[in-house]
Every structure is written in C-alpha cells, then in structure tokens.
Chains A and B, each alone.
Chain A
Amino acid sequence: MKKCLSFLSVFVVFSMFAALPALGADTIRFGEIATVTGDFAAYGTAEVESVKIAVEEINAAGGVLGKHLEVIMYDCRTRQEDMVNAARRLVEQDKVAAVIGPSGSGLCIAATPIFARGKVPHIGTLPTNPLVTVDEQGKVRPYNFRICFLDPYQGRMMAYFAVKDLGLKKAAILYDVSSDYSQGQREFFIDGFKEYGGAIVADEGFRGDDVDFRSQLTNIKDSGADVLIYPFMGKSLPLAVKQARELGIKTVILGGDGYGDFMWEVAGDTLADTYWVSHVDRYDPVLKNFFDKYQQKTGTECQEFMNAVMAYDCVYWLKDAIERAGSDDPQKIRDALESTKGLKLLHAVLTMDEFHNPKDKDGVMLRCDAVQKKALFFKKVRPE
C-alpha cells in the first residue's frame, strides 16, 4: 500500500514538472524538496513556484559560472518517510550539488543524516526548530543550513509581545504533539512567558491530522486565559481560530510564523485581530516586484508569502555560494555557504553564525485586519 502510494506520488510530481528542460551537461543541478501535497501543501506549492521564478531569472541573466541552473523537484507529501526517500534520491541518484526546502522542521530533521552521509549541503526554507542545524549535543550539523530565524527567538518574541506589548499574563496553549516545530515553539514560549512574569493556565495538545479542536478549546475556555497561543502550521491554524471563536472564546490569539493568506478562506472574519509572528512584512515595498512576478507567472496571488520569499532567497544564496566556491562541488558550496557574510538578499542581509543560522534577523508581528482581509504589519519586535 505504502509503496504503491509513494510510487504514485513520485509519478504525480514527475508529471507536474515534466515541462522543465531536459538535463544537460552544461548545467548545475540542485534539488528542491517541497510539500506539494499533505498538510503543508499550500506552503509547498508557493515554494515550488518561487524557486522556479528565481531559477528562470538567474538563467536569463546568464546563469552561474557560465552554466545554467537546473532544479530537480520532489514532493515529500508532508511526511518524514517521503522526505527521507526524496533526499536519498537527490543525493544518491540525481547527484545534485545542493538541496533546498522544505519549510517544516520535522521534515528537515528527518533527512539530516542523508545529507551528512552524501556530503551535500541542504538549506531549509522555514524550519525554525534548533535541531535542524545542531544535533542533540549542541554540535553543528556540517551540511545543514537555514535562512530563517529560530523557535527560541520566535517563542520568546511571542512571550515578550504578549506580556510587554499587550499586557496579557494568563496564557493557554494549544499545540501539535506530533510536530517538532510545534513542540519547540511551545517550550520556548513557556520559558519566556514565565520569565516575563506570566502564567500558563492551560496546555492542550492535538495530533497532526486532527481537524476538530473543540474539546481542547472547551477546556481552554474554562481556564480563564487572556491570551491563546497557537504554535503550529497548516490547515489546523485557521480551523483552530474558527472553532475557538465559534465556542465564544474572545481572548487574543497569538501564533507563530505559520500564517498564510489562505487562512482567510477557511476561517473568514474570525481571523480578525489575531497576531502572527512573521519573517517578512508582506507589504514591504522591496518585495513588490517579486510578488508581481509570482502573480504574473501563476495567475494567483502569493498567499504563503513567507515561505515563498524564503525559497526565492535560498536560490540566490545558493547562486552566491556557487560563485564564491567557483565550482559546483558540494563540499566547496558547503564551505561557501558557511562563510556567507553580509549577503544582500531580497528580504534581509544574510550573515551566518557558527551554528549555520542567520545572525540578527528582525521579527515582525502581523495583525489580521478584518476590513482588508490581510495580515498587516503591526510592529517590529526584538525580545530583551
């Protein structure tokens, strides 16, 4: 059954990307693993499109080291076992120079041994869990990189914002027990929140593919919380917001960086006045050109903008690394990625720290606006 499923999914993805140019010798190949189906499908679709846009731009401008960039894409179906299969394929059979994506922490962590064994560098687009680039002993994973900030930062940012900016001190948490991303963010939020003088009054879990959270939310409703924390992603986010409001929970809702415009379709006006951590401000003028291109190319508005911008910048980061390495040798690209300093990308200036994480990135708080049906820039937050 499972074999049959993965065969089908590989087939589906192959047919989706059959339009890509055939492989040639004068190209530099890199891999892209995205969540085109499954729970994070919306994020993955945006990721695939923006990688394609970046590759087209780079090739139109003459490519890298005189060669064209070529991307081989696989769908990991938002499942760790498919992620491992896709990574293995890219490293062992397709012999790519590097791999980009996907956004999920758990997915990226699952494939870390494959990249280490194959000595191929990997850049996650939005995996915010610390374990993506360091192991349990705190040692850096030599072949893993990320372009986004981390959950400890994000968790603290949410705690800081709730206590210092909104003055809320009784928090209830709903989190996904099957997700590394969610577990990590919850933990760091709790630490920060307590430190800033808040108390956790309810802590409820759910399992990844659940769609009904009303029993947990009923308990949360009775807990007297004044802020409700949502550290998770995917379809669960809009559903949990909607169900909370339907149960009559009126507290402030504050979430991590899982926000996407697709949530409006599912949750509608119940999203109004909820707050979300973001890596970028959607309406930052420097991003306009990219979003216009996206719209032009796909015919739809880019709704999962955080991951799209990150994936786009990942390709440019990789291009820069290949140029500095002067070769498409994975080992040399890895070294170049590691020594990235002051690289001007679309959304930020990138400098790597010794743990392969970007240094000093600002976090943004977005606030959902009921009239415009958008998450608008609320304020920049840097927790102390």
Chain B
Amino acid sequence: MTTLSQQIINGLSLGSVYALIAVGYSLVYSILLFSNFAHGGFLVVGGYACYFLLTQYGFGIWISITGALVASGVVAIITERMAYKPIRDRTSMTLYLMIASMGVSIVIENIFVIVVGGRFRALPQDTFPHDLFNLGGNVTVNSFDILSLIVAVIFLGGLQLFLNRTRWGLAIRAAACNLNTAGLMGVNVPLLISIVFFVAGLLAAVGGIFLSVRYTLYPQLGGTITTKAFVAAVIGGLGSLPGAVVGSLLLGLAEMLTAGFISSQMRDLVVFSMLVIMLLVKPAGFFGKQVSDKI
C-alpha cells in the first residue's frame, strides 16, 4: 500500500509537468491545426534564461522567472513570424508547418550547443523549497512536487480564465472553431496567432523551469520530455486543453506504475502502446474533436 501511494504521488508530480507542456502544444494545435515540435525548444529557452538570469546576472528568483517567461514567449513569437508565417502565407497545408517546426527545434537545440555548450546544468537548488514531508508510513512527498502541482493548477486555471473571460480569449476560441471565419469576422489574425504563441511559450517556460530544477538543464532537454507531452496531448485529444491535462496525468501515472510494478524497461512500451491503442479506438483522444484532416 505504501509503495502504491508513493508511486501514485510520483506519477502525479511527473504528470503535472507534462501537463504544462502538453497544454502549450494543444493551444497552438487548436488554432493552427499543426503539431509544433519546436515547443521543446521554447522550454529550453525558458530554462536557460532563468538559469543565466539567476546565476550570471544575480537577479532574484521572481525577476529571473519573469524574464524566462517573457524570453520564451518572445522566442515563440519570433519563431512563428520567421518560420511559420511565410509558410502560412503561401500554402494552407499544415504538413509544411510541422516539417518546419522540426527544423526549428533542431536549430534551437544547436544554437544552445554552440553558445552555452552541452554541459548539464541545474538551477540553484536552494532557490526552491525541497523539504520532505512524511505522509505516514514510509510515504514521502517533496515540497517541490507540491509546488509544481500548485503552479500547474494556477497556470492552467489562469489560462482557462483568459480563454473564457477576455475578448482575446473569445477570439482564440472563435479561431479554434475556424480561423478563416474568425478573420472574416474582424479578428486580427496575425496578432491573435502571436498571442497564442506567446502564451504557449510562457507555459513552456514554466515547464522548462520546473524540469531544470527537478532534473537538469541541457540543450536536448526539450526532445525526450516533449515527446511524452505530445503523446499526452494526443491521448487527451489534441486541441483540447482539459484533454491535455487529463492525458498528462494519466501518462505520468501509467509510467510510474509500470516502472514500479511491472518493469522499468516496459515504461516506454506502455506509453506508446497507450498511444497506439488510443489512436485505434478513439482517434480524437478523450476530449478531442472528430476531424479528418488534422496532422
């Protein structure tokens, strides 16, 4: 029982970080109908921005975090303007956008390799709480895990409020139904897309900061973990934000329980089997819209 509770806690804390990343993925997908593989790059930008602001420039934690969020958001906007907008202007095929995003993710990764090197770094550990709480028996929970769950809830809740209560949120929801029609109705589409990318970059930065505190920071960080977040977004239903959250938590739990009770080598097998089964049984995921031409 102790082991089970511990594994569930482990799973939820991993899932909450996946959720922040998966929601960013889904947000871009819901508007532009393509999977932005450069999302992992935004996460790395956020992580490094926070790292350098904290350690090299000596800013406080709040300024550093804010700086990282803005940096990621801005890089996301620039990426969209430089790599995706020219393609969107020329063709309506979202496949090209996806291919471009793969290229962008490699470019971002390699820029970091050249500029800061491939060394593993970590945000200073004492800037975040790391106390252990004993929940009875032998079950422990780290205060950082609780913090990451709370922050994930705050950011996802904030995003929900933004989408439901603001004019731009309304525009985004309209665009998610049909981008072209929204444009015809007077929505400033380029600005809207920039806002969406900014918000996605912001969420990625939060994920990046949490990942680099919990794990480590290196140029390829975006690669592996965003693949998982992408799978989570697909399982939950691409384009659906609650779906991304549910998919992420499910995935985190599935990973930890498989590794704990079956075998750690089966972990990825289970994750990707879940993906295949989901695609066979319910291709649109738990909360996704049934559409045929999405990639």
**B118 in contact with A44 (CB, 8 Å):** yes
Q: What 1/0 mask marks residues of chain B from 1 to 42 whose CB sits below 8 Å from any chain A CB?
A: 011001100100010000000000000000000000000000
Whole-angstrom CA separation of A219 from B7 in the bound complex: 9
**A206 in contact with B264 (CB, 8 Å):** yes
Instruction: Given the known inter-chain contacts A211-B225, A218-B7, please indicate yes or no for A38 contacting B118, CB distance below 8 A.
Output: yes
**B119 in contact with A262 (CB, 8 Å):** yes
List of A residues within 8 angstroms of B142 by Cβ: 246
Place the interface of chain B in its size category.
Answer: 35 or more
B119's closest neighbor in chain A, by CB? A42
Q: What 1/0 mask marks residues of chain B from 134 to 147 whose CB sits below 8 Å from any chain A CB?
A: 10001010100000
**A215 in contact with B259 (CB, 8 Å):** yes
Instruction: Given the known inter-chain contacts A12-B110, A215-B256, please indicate yes or no for A221 contacting B120, CB distance below 8 A.
Output: no
Whole-angstrom CA separation of A247 from B130 in the bound complex: 11
List of B residues within 8 angstroms of A267 by Cβ: 122
Whole-angstrom CA separation of A9 from B114 in the bound complex: 10
Contact of B120 among A8, A15, A205, A235 (CB under 8 A): A235
**A41 in contact with B119 (CB, 8 Å):** yes
A249's closest neighbor in chain B, by CB? B140
**A38 in contact with B220 (CB, 8 Å):** yes
Could you tell me the distance in whole angstroms from the C-beta of B211 to the nearest C-beta in chain A?
A: 8
List of A residues within 8 angstroms of B218 by Cβ: 41, 235
**B265 in contact with A4 (CB, 8 Å):** no
List of B residues within 8 angstroms of A215 by Cβ: 7, 10, 255-260, 264
Contact of A4 among B2, B106, B119, B219 (CB under 8 A): B106
List of A residues within 8 angstroms of B162 by Cβ: none
Could you tell me the distance in whole angstroms from the C-beta of B257 to the nearest C-beta in chain A?
A: 8
List of A residues within 8 angstroms of B257 by Cβ: 215
Q: For chain A residues 8-36, which have a beta carbon within 8 Å of chain B?
A: 8-9, 12, 15-16, 36
Instruction: Given the known inter-chain contacts A214-B10, A214-B256, please indicate yes or no for A207 contacting B130, CB distance below 8 A.
Output: no
List of B residues within 8 angstroms of A235 by Cβ: 120, 215-216, 218
Whole-angstrom CA separation of A307 from B136 in the bound complex: 44
Verify if A371 is at the interface (C-beta below 8 Å from B): no
Contact of A211 among B134, B215, B256 (CB under 8 A): B215
**A45 in contact with B118 (CB, 8 Å):** yes
Contact of A37 among B6, B220, B268 (CB under 8 A): B220
Q: What 1/0 mask marks residues of chain A from 237 to 263 whose CB sits below 8 Å from any chain B CB?
A: 011000000111000000000000010
Q: For chain A residues 149-187, which have a beta carbon within 8 Å of chain B?
A: 177
- Of A5, A235, A262, the most chain B CB neighbours within 10 A belong to A235
Whole-angstrom CA separation of A204 from B260 in the bound complex: 9
Q: For chain A residues 279-329, which have a beta carbon within 8 Å of chain B?
A: none
Could you tell me the distance in whole angstroms from the C-beta of B162 to the nearest C-beta in chain A?
A: 30
List of B residues within 8 angstroms of A212 by Cβ: 10, 14, 215, 255-256
Instruction: Given the known inter-chain contacts A1-B102, A205-B263, A239-B216, please indicate yes or no for A246 contacting B130, CB distance below 8 A.
Output: yes
Verify if B125 is at the interface (C-beta below 8 Å from A): yes
Whole-angstrom CA separation of A44 from B7 in the bound complex: 35
- Of B120, B121, B138, B218, the most chain A CB neighbours within 10 A belong to B120
Could you tell me the distance in whole angstroms from the C-beta of A222 to the nearest C-beta in chain B?
A: 6
Verify if A197 is at the interface (C-beta below 8 Å from B): no
Q: For chain A residues 202-229, which have a beta carbon within 8 Å of chain B?
A: 204-207, 209-212, 214-216, 218-219, 221-222
24 CB-based A-B contacts, threshold 8 Å: A8-B110, A12-B114, A36-B113, A36-B118, A41-B117, A41-B120, A41-B218, A42-B120, A207-B267, A207-B268, A209-B224, A212-B255, A215-B258, A215-B259, A215-B264, A216-B259, A218-B3, A222-B2, A222-B138, A238-B216, A239-B216, A246-B140, A247-B140, A265-B122
Residues of A within 8 A of B (CB): 1, 4-5, 8-9, 12, 15-16, 36-38, 41-42, 44-45, 177, 204-207, 209-212, 214-216, 218-219, 221-222, 234-235, 238-239, 246-248, 262, 265-269
**Supplied contacts A41-B117, A41-B120, A206-B264, 15 more A-B pairs, CB within 8 Å:** A37-B219, A41-B118, A41-B119, A205-B265, A211-B216, A212-B256, A215-B259, A216-B260, A234-B120, A238-B120, A238-B122, A246-B130, A265-B120, A266-B122, A269-B125
